[in-house]
Amino acid sequence: MTDKPRYTARLVLSGHIIDSMMLPQVMDMVMDLGGNFTIEELKVGQHKTDTSLCRMEVVADSPDLLDRIVQRARALGATAESEHDAHVERVTQEGVFPEGFYSTSNLPTEVLIDGHWVPVENMEMDTAIAVDRGARRARCIVFQDAKPGMELVVGHQGVRVTPLERSRNAEIFSFMTSEVSAEKPKKVLIAGVAEEMRQVHDSGGRILVVAGPAVVHTGAGRYLSRLIELGFVQVLFAGNALAVHDVESALFGTALGVNIESGRPPADCARWSRAVNSSPG
């Protein structure tokens, strides 16, 4: 009875791989896809500013599976032990990317050009990476910017992604169901959020708020507006519901027909409701 063939690759993870959850994410991904791994070297930083290093061998039963594992590991921030320059192909038709082009994420990304890691400029999700070897530069472009003769990165070779780190402070920004409950004092949570916002503001950082219509329903719209005016919020992501309800609030002082101040329907709505309920049929 012969053993199954084993296909292996060696990956390197470096940086704040524990804070960013890169290491456990890569481990879980390898096992979820049906592969295995062996940790060959692990150096953990002793202080908050220290980086860590991990070298691991990943094993798969087929070359296709190994390729999928390596590609997914690269997307999480890992690199191959023996890295080669990014593979590029030229654009042949305006507005058309080459087959198999590397599709970017919104995370900091670098490409290996002539043996040098070059940061990708204008990072944006779901774009391609255009390379200028002469200037040793790389930048994200969308379809309409692709011009014949441009060199675009194809495949995952020579691409390095840096995952976001988790805050070293208390877990202020976490999923609502895990952090917000009736038993926990909201004052402490709000104070923590405010302090972290101050730190970001004072360091020249930028803050993005992802808001839903509950901001209007709870009467918090005025406070979000004030934060924007004071320069504590630079970007607002929201759906059309926030805009519609904000307009309703500005024009009528209501949200979904309920007065924001009193929590009751307006008088005319109440009269209309009584008329409807008392009418025959």
C-alpha 249/C-alpha 254 separation (Å) is 5
Domain map (residue ranges) of the chain: 7-80, 88-161, 176-276
C-alpha 11/C-alpha 81 separation (Å) is 5
pTM of the model: 0.55
List pLDDT tens digits, range 21-60.
Answer: 889 999 999 999 999 999 999 999 888 778 899 999 999 9
CATH superfamily, domain 7-80, is LOR/SDH bifunctional enzyme, conserved domain (3.30.70.2690)
Q: What integer is the mean pLDDT of 245-264? A: 79
The mean pLDDT of the chain is 83
CATH of domain 176-276: 3.40.50.10690
Query: Helix or strand or coil: residue 66?
Result: helix
Q: What integer pLDDT is reported at residue 175 of this predicted model?
A: 43
Distance of CA 86 to the CA centre of its chain: 23
The answer on pLDDT for 276 being more than 70 is: no
pLDDT band at 1 (very low <50, low <70, confident <90, very high): very low
CA 207, 225, 204 angle in degrees (round to 5)?
Answer: 25
Q: What integer is the mean pLDDT of 133-153? A: 95
Please name the helix (run of DSSP H) or strand (run of DSSP E) that holds residue 65, with its range, or none: helix 63-75
List pLDDT tens digits, range 240-251.
Answer: 888 888 888 888
Outline where DSSP puts E strands in 162-265.
Answer: 208-211, 235-238, 254-255, 258-259
Burial of 45 (0-12, 13-18, 19+ CB in 10 A): middle
Q: What integer pLDDT is reported at residue 165 of this predicted model?
A: 63
Contact 159, 102 (CB under 8 A): yes
From the list 123, 27, 142, 121, the residue with the least C-alpha distance to 78 is 27
Contact 55, 10 (CB under 8 A): yes
Q: What integer pLDDT is reported at residue 110 of this predicted model?
A: 92
Q: Which of residues 266 and 50 earns the better pLDDT score?
A: 50
> Which of the four CATH numbers 3.90.660.10, 2.40.420.10, 2.60.40.10, 3.40.50.300 does domain 88-161 have?
2.40.420.10
Same fold, 7-80 and 88-161: no
- Torsion of the alpha carbons at 214, 219, 221 and 225, rounded to the nearest 10: -150
Q: Which residues pair with 235 in a beta bridge?
A: 208
DSSP-assigned states of every residue in 162-190: -PPPPPSS---S--HHHH--TTS-HHHHH
Candidate from 77-81, 150-154, 233-237 with smallest mean pLDDT: 77-81
Contact 225, 246 (CB under 8 A): no
List pLDDT tens digits, range 65-114.
Answer: 988 898 889 888 888 877 789 999 999 999 999 999 999 988 889 999 99
pLDDT band at 141 (very low <50, low <70, confident <90, very high): very high
Burial of 87 (0-12, 13-18, 19+ CB in 10 A): middle
